[in-house]
Structure 1
């Protein structure tokens, strides 16, 4: 627990205020520990050929020993070779080592390409490496990400309970009042395009992005609830969506920080349930409040939920970015030892980056990955369609359950529980498939061919039209209201299987750009989610519930082939038509 709090925003502020006297790290208590954090093999490679990868064929072979790490002569091998081949005295050998050899590894420094650096890296069982955290700590962090996701995601649907009151108070049409929903969704679609790549910068990390944006999100609920005109309401709804957005894309990258690819689908699935809970519980949480107190109470409820998440995460959410943790450790070691040669790989990478490179990474890369990578674009387009169908379909609930079955506002919110129940029902068979089938396709390094993540999506695609046909044609006065609610459960089954397949496929196919590709996914689906509700009411009134739902079902049928295509030809696309996807599978 001490380590957990120390890595939180609260813990880091306490360390800063106490000048590092409280919540100390092991190396601060025992400065001699810095040596165990230096990687001899990688330091030797830097000395030998200037980078930590294997040296090329043009590397100097004269100094290559018969044995050593990666073909690079380490300290012991070097000294042993000198004992056998050199007639020089111990004094001259020691002086030679001091002058021309990397102290951390004993490898001779190449005068042209070599770098005299003591590389700080993760030890195999380093407890500060997020991948090595205990299971209980990982589960706790996963729960925090789920709380944050629920606290933000509910902000879209909770507003819908007060739309009628917004129409009355501000004197606007239903379509105009719906803009409060769509602009919020648009905001959390655009936001991750900035926040997610920013969280990938090792010198920033995940926590500052999460906590600072969540703080602004909570504060902005006040002017939203106190809006004196309709334009003010819409402006702040967009801004709250924008600042609340990071976890909606970066949450998956955070889970990828702490879980191996073999086990990551399980927490991704749980995280997906928290995302489903937001839109489905929003009308229920906000319905009775809006019915009794008006639309402003839906915003106050959102502030209380997200405020609780802010306080909880401020004290207990640790940093999960391994690059950020390693950078901070390296800075501490340099300060404690006075050794300026201590550096880590993220720092070496940063030395090569210009301001233009950083801007490209933060502002351009998510868009290029989204639109120029064929696998990313096809899957994001499919998920966007499902997301758009979800939001346009949500607009039919008042027409069905208020207009046909005469539910009041609070009871209408209860109708969304069918979607939640469907998500609960699909978890056991999905996890069983993961355990019995998919884990067997994972290699010894805990990695899986990305296309092996797609079978659930192939199955889930069929449930979208099943749900919409069932819901549309069972919503009639002569059929009990439970039937359309049961039909709605099929949608969450479809969305769960599709979303989890894609959210696992993308980090596997683009491990170095996980947050950026997930941000692109969020942009696409939020764009559809923001636009579709604007014509939902007119479509359902003009076509009727049955044919309007059928029209959406036919769209769902048209997109069913996408995961099948990627399952069979995705590997060829990655290797031949992608610039950024991994090609070693």
Structure 2
């Protein structure tokens, strides 16, 4: 519990205010152990090659020259290097290498630094070494955060008709309150996702500060005095609240190895599904009793409660930030400014132009130049768009056809949630039984083996849409179309899980940019589709409107099959994808 609170936003603030006198780290309680955090081999490589990794290939002449330099170095280069106290001849405290020898610094390309790293494969500060209960608790927090923000889109939809009456606007205009919120999802990650990757920031400040603003902005949204004010704050809240949707998956990846990441992302998917499915249920009853703005108050209370939990109990999961703060503590503790971590070394070589290119240009470059990324992002964007346009048919079906009230109409969405509870255990069993054994001794998997679950998911989407469209009739019991809705969550759950894992494995060096582009693409389609949903279902009817969406989804079924067979060949042609698996 001490470690959990110390790594939280509250814990770091408490340490900052007290100058590190409370919630101390092990090296602060026992200064004699700080040397174990210095990685001897990486420090030596920095001295010889200027990088933490030994070059994979070098000329024999170069190797001979380096060996000659090593042999000719003076033995008294640092008289205190082997001193047990860890102090050099000049009184400066320096990290010792194995054997007590001072590393040689190449005058041309070497750097005299001491690389701060994990002290071993079992370092408890590394998020991947956290205990299972701690990982589960942090995963729950990320899911709760995602749910608390994601519900903000669907909870508003329950009050659209009331917005029409209160502000005297058309239904399409009132729907903008939904679409602009989702559009904020698309734009926000382009800023927040790269910021969370910067070692000096980490993920926690991005989560906490944006969530706090998200909570505060619900007040002017609920008290909007005109329609323009409502739309402006709906966009701003979507923009501010987006980090959980774009960076939540990255936090899961911080804690779980690639072989276990499927489970973490699947559990995180529960939070993403619960938001849109429970939003109409929660919001419907509130609108019936109090009006549209009570959906916003509910959103504020929920996200505020989530904020209170995260402030005190959400630890930092970014390994780059954890190592950065460790290196900073050691510099302060020892007075040795040569102590530095790898993320700092990488950041020193990046200019503002590089950061801007990574955040603003690379996601779009990868999206439109990489066939794999474009096809899968287009598929996921389609599913996302279909979800939002399909949701607009629920009032037509369950209120107009079956006579549900606004509140009980939200119960119809529970079929979607039930589908996730059915398919998730089956996905876990399949992954454990068939996929985990395919990982090699280095914990790596050929990316295409992430795709088989998508084979089932691809067929589940059109099954849902045709089932729902042709069973939504007064002469068929309402439970039948609700059962059909479960197929959508089966399809979306399997497709999202497969695609996110596949992209992360196929583009490990550019995963953040690839996933940011995916979020932008799908959110933009999700924002635009609801604007014509009501007109489409009104003019075509529920049966043919849903069938039209079903035919569109049928056209995308071959994508996972084609990539499973030819994905490796396509990756070999790419400059950015991984080639060695």
- What TM-score does the superposition give when structure 2 sets the normalisation length? 0.94
Contact 1:146 1:274 in 2 (8 A): yes
Alignment partners' CA distance in 1, 2:164 and 2:579: 53
Corresponding residue number in structure 2 for 1:581: 577
The alpha-carbon deviation at position 482 of structure 1 amounts to: 0.7
Contact 1:165 1:295 in 2 (8 A): yes
Corresponding residue number in structure 1 for 2:50: 50
1:170 aligns with 2:167: yes
Corresponding residue number in structure 2 for 1:372: 369
Contact 1:102 1:108 in 2 (8 A): no
Alignment partners' CA distance in 2, 1:245 and 1:400: 31
SS at match of 1:60: helix
Contact 2:81 2:96 in 1 (8 A): no
1:554–1:21 CA distance, 2 compared to 1 (3 A): same
Given candidates 345, 348, 355, the residue that maps to 2:345 is: 348
Corresponding residue number in structure 2 for 1:69: none
Alignment partners' CA distance in 2, 1:394 and 1:102: 61
1:242 aligns with 2:239: yes
The alpha-carbon deviation at position 352 of structure 1 amounts to: 0.9
The alpha-carbon deviation at position 473 of structure 1 amounts to: 0.4
The alpha-carbon deviation at position 102 of structure 1 amounts to: 9.4
Q: Gaps (5+ residues) in structure 2?
A: 83-87
The alpha-carbon deviation at position 373 of structure 1 amounts to: 2.1
CA shift digits 1:181-238 (9 cap, x unpaired): 1110111111111111111111111111111111111110000000000111011001
1:490–1:352 CA distance, 2 compared to 1 (3 A): same
Corresponding residue number in structure 1 for 2:406: 409
Contact 1:252 1:515 in 2 (8 A): no
- Identify which range, 56-65 or 201-210, moves more after superposition: 56-65
Over aligned residues, Cα RMSD in angstroms?
2.1
CA shift digits 1:451-492 (9 cap, x unpaired): 110111121000111101100000111111111101111101
Q: Gaps (5+ residues) in structure 1?
A: 66-71
Alignment partners' CA distance in 2, 1:326 and 1:96: 25
Corresponding residue number in structure 2 for 1:60: 62
The alpha-carbon deviation at position 91 of structure 1 amounts to: 6.2
Alignment partners' CA distance in 2, 1:329 and 1:102: 15
Contact 2:35 2:95 in 1 (8 A): no
Given candidates 102, 110, 114, the residue that maps to 2:110 is: 114
Alignment partners' CA distance in 2, 1:319 and 1:389: 35
1:382 aligns with 2:383: no
SS at match of 2:115: strand
- What TM-score does the superposition give when structure 1 sets the normalisation length? 0.93
The alpha-carbon deviation at position 103 of structure 1 amounts to: 5.6
CA shift digits 1:353-398 (9 cap, x unpaired): 1111122222222222222222111111001101111110000000
The alpha-carbon deviation at position 564 of structure 1 amounts to: 1.1
Matched ranges for 1:83-102 at <5 A: 94=79
Alignment partners' CA distance in 1, 2:78 and 2:315: 47
Alignment partners' CA distance in 2, 1:469 and 1:103: 69
SS at match of 2:62: coil
Contact 2:38 2:95 in 1 (8 A): no
- Identify which range, 47-56 or 397-406, moves more after superposition: 47-56
Contact 1:249 1:515 in 2 (8 A): no
- Identify which range, 1-10 or 123-132, moves more after superposition: 123-132
Corresponding residue number in structure 1 for 2:85: none
Contact 2:572 2:579 in 1 (8 A): yes
Given candidates 252, 265, 269, the residue that maps to 1:268 is: 265
Alignment partners' CA distance in 1, 2:81 and 2:444: 44
1:36 aligns with 2:36: yes
1:153–1:489 CA distance, 2 compared to 1 (3 A): same
Contact 2:398 2:404 in 1 (8 A): yes
Matched ranges for 1:274-293 at <5 A: 274-293=271-290
Matched ranges for 1:168-207 at <5 A: 168-207=165-204
Contact 1:43 1:102 in 2 (8 A): no
- Identify which range, 276-285 or 340-349, moves more after superposition: 340-349
1:491–1:91 CA distance, 2 compared to 1 (3 A): closer
- Identify which range, 142-151 or 55-64, moves more after superposition: 55-64
Contact 1:186 1:526 in 2 (8 A): yes
Matched ranges for 1:383-532 at <5 A: 383-532=380-529
Alignment partners' CA distance in 1, 2:312 and 2:383: 36
Alignment partners' CA distance in 2, 1:465 and 1:95: 73
Corresponding residue number in structure 2 for 1:299: 296
SS at match of 2:198: coil
CA shift digits 1:97-155 (9 cap, x unpaired): 989x9964633222222221111111221111111111111111100000000000000
Contact 1:253 1:507 in 2 (8 A): no
Count of residues paired in the alignment: 566
CA shift digits 1:551-573 (9 cap, x unpaired): 00000000111111111111122
1:92–1:51 CA distance, 2 compared to 1 (3 A): closer
